[in-house]
Chains A and B, each alone.
Chain A
Amino acid sequence: MAQRDSGPEPGMDSSKGHRMGAMTLPPFERLYLAHREDVHASLRRLLGRERADDAFQETFLRALRAYDRLAHADNLRAWLLAIARNVALDELRRAQTVDSAAAPEPVARTEEPAGYEQLAELAGQLPAKERAAVVLRYAYDLDYDTIGAALGSSGEAARQAASSGVRRLRKELS
């Protein structure tokens, strides 16, 4: 089963939990079966259902390309989710340059109870750019410059998109 206590996602070079000496990576199949639903849910939140499938495949192919060179086998769920986030950011960046008018579908409901799933679900009603900014800021804890870069705009524009998204959510909730 997927671990639930991984905390914030680390970057690819997570510095915590390095283990000395020999280590064995679990067979990739096991990793895939344990975390594929979480990875797909995470991609749905960021990209919408339609684009999540392609990003899902790209996430696991990227993971396979790097897997046998991993320095340790700690917190592989967080590692996979970090790759998924990077794939989603690339996709958002690409979509921004190719077709700035493309609006992804609203995110689907997920069964996961954690707070940020609820946030993502609510954010699913927002316009694409506001949704991405809200989810990346409050669920993924990215700074505005990073979000701006991902969305093909500035940090200031990302901050405005997030805050107008939050205002819109407040209005809908009240």
Chain B
Amino acid sequence: MISDALDARLRAAAAAEGLLDAAFDVMDSPIGPLLLAATPQGLCQINFRPDPEEALERLARLYGPRVLRSSEPLRGAQRELDAYFEGKRRAFDLPLDVRGSGFTGRVLVELGRVPYGEVVSYGELARRAGNPKAARAVGMTMNRNVLPIVLPCHRVVGANGSLVGYAGGLDTKRFLLELEGSLPQSIKL
């Protein structure tokens, strides 16, 4: 039998030697377990449905076949997320591996600039990214956001303040906005 220590040692060594296309791990959070993944460039995915089997296939397809569960490369992200959920951190300071080009890329950049405690409408984010008419495309980009929380798509709401939708479920979106003290008034009622 392989001991846990030997298993952990191998997983850490593989990451430390830069041999992984992607490392992943699952962390607990107030909104349920989160699956985190990182490439050597930085954090690349946060997933609300931590199904490791499905994640393995997805990560291998996107980043390469050398995918291994390894907690060390994700420790920094885990620490920052823990602090965020405790209300002690308002911005993330992590290397990210975000892949998006053209309008999508500009939307993600603008999304990253929406500060803690504020919300923005889909249309407004479209305008900031250079195309005021592309609110629907912004909605699509939010829906496909692979780094929720860190790229704060929960801060993007309908023009009338409705929450509209969220990959992690509307309860999660409500929880995050409440944590940040920015749940729109119309929703609190």
Contacts and interface: CB of A to CB of B under 8 A. Distances in A.
B17 interface: yes
Contacts of A50: none
A73 B56 CA distance: 16
A26 B14 contact: no
B68 A68 contact: no
Interface stretch (B2-10, B131-139, B169-177, B180-188): B2-10
B6 A56 contact: yes
A40 B65 contact: no
A6 interface: no
Chain B interface category by residue count = 20 to 34
B10 A56 contact: yes
B75 interface: no
B60 interface: yes
A32 B64 contact: no
Nearest to B12: A57
A65 interface: yes
Contact of B65 (A26, A56, A60): A26
Contacts of A65: 19
Interface string A136-168: 000000000000000000000000000000000
A61 B1 contact: no
Label chain B's interface by main secondary structure.
Answer: mixed
A173 B142 CA distance: 71
A73 to B, nearest CB: 9
Given A27-B56, A27-B59, A30-B56, A64 B66 contact: yes
A40 B60 CA distance: 25
Interface in B15-29: 17, 19-21
A57 B65 contact: no
A53 B65 contact: no
Contacts of B14: 60-61, 64
B10 A28 contact: no
A13 interface: no
B170 to A, nearest CB: 32
A37 interface: yes
B19 A29 contact: no
B5 to A, nearest CB: 9
Nearest to A28: B66
B27 to A, nearest CB: 17
7 contacts: A27-B56, A27-B59, A28-B65, A30-B56, A56-B6, A57-B13, A65-B19
Interface of A: 24-30, 32, 36-37, 40, 53, 56-57, 60-61, 64-65, 67-68
